């Protein structure tokens, strides 16, 4: 039974039971959800009641609110008499037209004018000292209050896919709500018309001033253009139509003609100079040469006729020769004169061509100089035309604007006028209560799961098993003592002072209760866990105090003693032992501290209950200065061995594991260690730390006992039908007794 040393590496590794996985998350089932709701039912109920109460207070304390509605149709103006009117009407066209009108409808100016028309200043000044109904100047604060009075209950919306605007107003006074809506529609219609008219008149006045400036500017630009035309010799409507260009064109044409004439003269001169025998033919256009040529031909014909008859010496022949020679001389003279004339004409053509070419060059220079000013001329002319056109256009639009002023306002048609409502729309009492009930329940459920996710306190045996990875030996329900169910045969004298702790002795006082049956189930789980070698030394401990380890140890000892086994219940919590108070042992003259400090001292251990003579109790005795050293000493090991020789079972109520280190040595020497957790008190991390501590010292942990369990959370679907009724308990006990006899265990005749 001594604690054998283990390797350091083995001690540092936490033990993992087979078949369980550390950190394995489990999905939450509907049963888990129901358990959370049952666990937090008071939170859900409280939130639901508070929500319903708040809804009821709102429904019955809030004054009734009435709503009236008016519908108007807004159509953009279709007047097309002038572009100026279309300019102002453009804002009423497009997808944002109704949105714009809605903003105008809810503007401060329209709302204030409506409030002023309804004389709402009286409502604003109600309750103010020194104010009367007599007209006084409205302060800025009162103006904001009047606007806020209307804006607070006003709602404006557009009917989808239409140009109809709905105007809703809510107020506790139905007549006031109706008047405000109707007056608001009238004010908005008048304001829209007045605004558009004033804008048109304002623009017309501005255009009138602008026209005077344009007229003077047009006159100045026209004068500048005329001066520029005069200075640069530009005539006509086109900058290209001027004397310089025209002269250049004329000279160019003359030069072309002169060049052609010079070419003709040159060709003719070359033909005269070529000594062509047919030269005379070239002179066919000269009448004198033609006449002389005709005479020469006639004379030559006469001589030819006379030459055959008269001979060359004949005087008539000589006279003809003389005439022919004279005529030929005249022809030659004419040819010389013609050649000279042709040459002179050629020279004149060359001179004329050179003069025209020189003049053309001069005119081109003048044209080039003119082109440098054409751009400035075009700018001046274009500016003059724009100014003149703008002046003419604005003059015409101004005349149209004077006629069409105000025609650009939107067309507003009242579809439905507001009527005085008689049925309030709020508060809706039934709906408020239903919403409060459902909303409170949902909020309560959400709050319940939030609290459950934050709170790591263990509630059921299933949660304890999942957290600790240890088997659950028993789930002990909450114990409430009922004197009417006290077992017959247990008297005040037999229980001595134990009547002051009936709940801690539930297996004795009320053996037919659910709690007593749970402890008997724990006894069976411990004994049947190892049939061949059941545990003899059982250490009961917990993570922290006030988790029910003493109650568990006491009732475990009682149910073991009820099997006619010799049982010793030892209070090993030398710091805060309480078994002497539970069993009413009075002053502790002898206890565990005496047995360990005085080995030679032996006393008879008390049996608190006459009906259980096999149950003996060893209290703590006087409080020692060094309890941890005493419990881990060799003397304690020898004492435990001595107890196993005298008793069948030894149940040790030890100190909490995480509070002090007193229990570790006894847990390592025990045959079984029972770890106690209290539902709703023990936290998950504390239980895991206690388990890891027992595993590190190789303590034989048998399992966990969950104390003070709420059966509605543990197994509500069974316990709510009253499973543990008295008749069923007897039938259950008979089956358990048969099972125990089959395994060789004996019970008393009363089935205890």
pLDDT, residue 528, reads 86
What whole-number distance in Å separates Cα of residue 88 and Cα of residue 597? 112
**CA distance readout (Å), 139 to 136, 142, 144, 146, 187:** 9, 5, 9, 11, 22
Low-confidence spans in the chain with pLDDT less than 70: 1-28, 76-95, 127-135, 225, 229-230, 232-244, 274-286, 366-380, 382-383, 391, 398-410, 480-503, 587-589, 600, 713, 715-752
The string of pLDDT tens digits covering residues 112-159 is: 999 988 988 888 887 554 455 555 788 888 889 889 989 999 999 998
SS (H, E, C) 456-479: CECCCHHHHHHHHCCCEEEEEECC
> Which secondary structure element, helix H or strand E, spans residue 522, and what is its range?
helix 514-528
User: Can you list the positions of beta strands (E) in 114-269?
Assistant: 154-158, 164-171
Q: What is the pLDDT of residues 595-639, one digit of tens each?
A: 888 876 777 788 888 888 999 999 888 888 888 898 888 999 999
Residues 6+ apart with CB under 8 A from 411: 74, 75, 76, 77
C-beta separation of 520 from 475 below 8 A: no
Separation of alpha carbons 390 and 394, rounded Å: 6
Helix (H, G, I), strand (E, B) or coil at 155: strand
Per-chain mean pLDDT for the chain? 76
Q: How far apart are CA 561 and CA 564, in angstroms?
A: 5
The β-bridge partners of 69 are 168
pLDDT in the model for residue 566: 93
Helix-strand-coil percent breakdown of the chain, rounded to 5?
60, 10, 30
Residue-level pLDDT at 229: 66
Per-residue pLDDT, 133 = 53
C-alpha to C-alpha distance for 355 and 262, rounded to whole angstroms: 13
- Are 558 and 537 spatial neighbours (Cβ–Cβ below 8 Å)? no
Residue 74 token pair: 């807004």
Taking the C-alpha atoms of residue 104 and residue 410, their distance in angstroms, rounded to an integer, is 12
pLDDT at residue 456, as a whole number: 76
**614 neighbors 623 (Cβ within 8 angstroms):** no
The three-class DSSP label of residue 200 is: helix
Rg (CA), the chain: 67
Contacts 24+ apart (CB under 8 A), 1-9: 1/537, 1/637, 1/640, 1/641, 1/669, 1/670, 1/671, 2/637, 2/669, 3/665, 3/668, 3/669, 3/697, 3/698, 4/698, 6/698
The neighbouring-strand residues paired with 165 are: 72, 158
What is the predicted pLDDT for the residue at 288? 72
Six-digit token string for 213:
């400036």
Number of H-type helices and E-type strands within the chain? 28, 11
Residues 238-279 pLDDT 10s: 555 566 677 778 888 887 888 888 788 777 777 777 655 455
Question: What domains can you pick out in the chain, each with its CATH number?
Answer: 33-62+427-454 (no CATH), 243-372 (1.10.287), 458-714 (3.40.50.300)
In SS3 terms, 673-725 reads as: EEEEEECCCCEHHHHHHHHHHHHHCCCCEEEEEEEEECHHHHHHHHHCCCCCC
Integer Cα distance of 579 and 551 in angstroms: 9
The fraction of the chain above a pLDDT of 70, given in percent, is 74
Tracing tokens 């009936």 back to the chain, one arrives at 502
Task: Dihedral sign for Cα 611, 506, 472, 557, please.
Answer: negative
Residue 604: exposed, middle, or buried by beta-carbon count in 10 A (0-12, 13-18, 19+)?
exposed
Query: Of 505, 525, 501, whose CA–CA distance to 515 is shortest?
Result: 505
Strands of 123-211, DSSP E: 154-158, 164-171
Is residue 427 left, alpha or beta, with left meaning phi > 0 and alpha meaning psi from -120 to 50? beta
Give CA–CA dist 631/665, Å, rounded. Answer: 7
What is the per-residue pLDDT for 705? 93
The maximal CA–CA distance of the chain, rounded, in angstroms, is 220
Distance CA 622, CA 596 (A): 11
Taken as a whole, the chain contains a residue count of 752
Cis preceding linkage at 387, omega within 30: no
């Amino acid at each position: 039974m001594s604690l054998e040393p283990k390797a350091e590496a083995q001690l540092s590794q936490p033990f993992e039971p087979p078949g369980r996985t550390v950190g394995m998350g489990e999905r939450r089932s509907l049963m888990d959800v129901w358990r959370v709701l049952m666990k937090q039912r008071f939170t859900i109920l409280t939130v639901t009641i508070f929500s319903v109460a708040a809804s009821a207070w709102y429904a019955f304390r809030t004054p009734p609110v009435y709503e009236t509605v008016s519908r108007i149709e807004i159509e953009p103006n279709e007047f097309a008499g002038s572009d100026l009117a279309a300019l102002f009407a453009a804002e009423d066209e497009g997808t944002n037209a109704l949105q714009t009108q809605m903003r105008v409808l809810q503007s401060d100016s329209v709302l204030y004018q409506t409030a002023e028309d309804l004389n709402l200043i009286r409502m604003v000044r109600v309750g103010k000292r020194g104010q009367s109904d007599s007209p006084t100047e409205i302060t800025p604060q009162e103006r904001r209050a009047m606007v806020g009075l209307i804006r607070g209950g006003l709602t404006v919306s557009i009917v989808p896919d239409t140009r109809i605007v709905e105007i809703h107003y809510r107020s506790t006074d139905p007549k006031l709500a109706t008047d405000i809506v109707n007056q608001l529609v009238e004010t908005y219609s008048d304001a829209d018309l007045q605004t558009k008219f004033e804008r048109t008149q304002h623009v017309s006045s501005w255009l009138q001033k602008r026209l005077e400036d344009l007229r003077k500017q047009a006159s100045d630009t026209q004068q500048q253009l005329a001066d520029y035309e005069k200075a640069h010799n530009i005539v006509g409507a086109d900058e290209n139509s001027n004397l310089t260009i025209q002269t250049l064109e004329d000279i160019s044409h003359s030069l072309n003609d002169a060049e052609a004439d010079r070419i003709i003269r040159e060709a003719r001169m070359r033909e005269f100079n070529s000594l062509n025998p047919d030269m005379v033919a070239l002179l066919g256009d000269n009448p004198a040469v033609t006449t002389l040529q005709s005479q020469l031909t006639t004379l030559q014909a006469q001589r030819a006729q006379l030459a055959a008859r008269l001979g060359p010496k004949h005087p008539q022949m000589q006279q003809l020769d003389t005439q022919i020679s004279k005529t030929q001389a005249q022809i030659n003279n004419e040819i010389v004169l013609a050649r000279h004339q042709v040459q002179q004409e050629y020279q004149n053509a060359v001179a004329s061509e050179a003069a025209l070419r020189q003049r053309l060059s001069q005119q081109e220079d003048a044209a080039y100089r003119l082109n440098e000013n054409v751009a400035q001329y075009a700018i001046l002319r274009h500016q003059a035309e724009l100014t003149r056109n703008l002046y003419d256009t604005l003059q015409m639009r101004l005349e149209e604007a004077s006629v069409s002023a105000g025609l650009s306002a939107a067309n507003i048609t009242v579809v439905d006028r507001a009527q005085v409502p008689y049925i309030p729309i709020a508060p809706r009492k039934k709906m408020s209560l239903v919403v409060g009930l459902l909303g409170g329940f949902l909020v309560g459920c959400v709050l319940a799961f939030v609290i459950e996710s934050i709170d790591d306190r263990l509630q059921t045996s299933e949660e304890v098993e999942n957290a600790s990875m240890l088997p659950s030996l028993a789930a002990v329900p909450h114990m409430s003592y009922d004197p009417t169910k006290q077992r017959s045969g247990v008297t005040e004298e037999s229980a001595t002072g134990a009547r002051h702790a009936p709940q801690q002795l539930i297996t004795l006082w009320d053996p037919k209760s659910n709690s007593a049956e749970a402890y008997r189930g724990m006894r069976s789980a411990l004994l049947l866990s190892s049939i061949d070698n059941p545990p003899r030394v059982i250490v009961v401990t917990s993570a922290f105090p006030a988790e029910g380890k003493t109650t568990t140890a006491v009732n475990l000892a009682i149910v073991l003693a009820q099997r006619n086994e010799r049982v010793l219940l030892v209070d090993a919590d030398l710091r805060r032992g309480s078994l002497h108070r539970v069993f009413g042992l009075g002053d502790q003259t002898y206890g565990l501290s005496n047995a360990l400090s005085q080995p030679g001292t032996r006393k008879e251990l008390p049996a608190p209950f006459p009906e259980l003579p096999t149950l003996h109790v060893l209290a703590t005795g006087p409080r020692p200065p060094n309890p941890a050293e005493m419990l881990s000493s060799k003397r304690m090991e020898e004492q435990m061995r001595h107890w196993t020789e005298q008793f069948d079972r030894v149940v040790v109520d030890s100190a909490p594991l995480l509070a002090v280190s007193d229990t570790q040595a006894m847990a390592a020497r025990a045959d079984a260690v029972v770890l106690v957790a209290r539902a709703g008190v023990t936290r998950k991390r504390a239980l895991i730390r206690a388990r890891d501590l027992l595993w590190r010292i190789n303590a034989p942990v048998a399992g966990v006992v969950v104390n003070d369990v709420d059966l509605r959370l543990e197994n509500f679907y069974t316990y709510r039908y009253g499973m543990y009724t008295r008749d069923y308990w007897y039938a259950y006990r008979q089956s358990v007794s048969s099972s125990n006899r089959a395994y060789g265990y004996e019970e008393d005749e009363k089935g205890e």
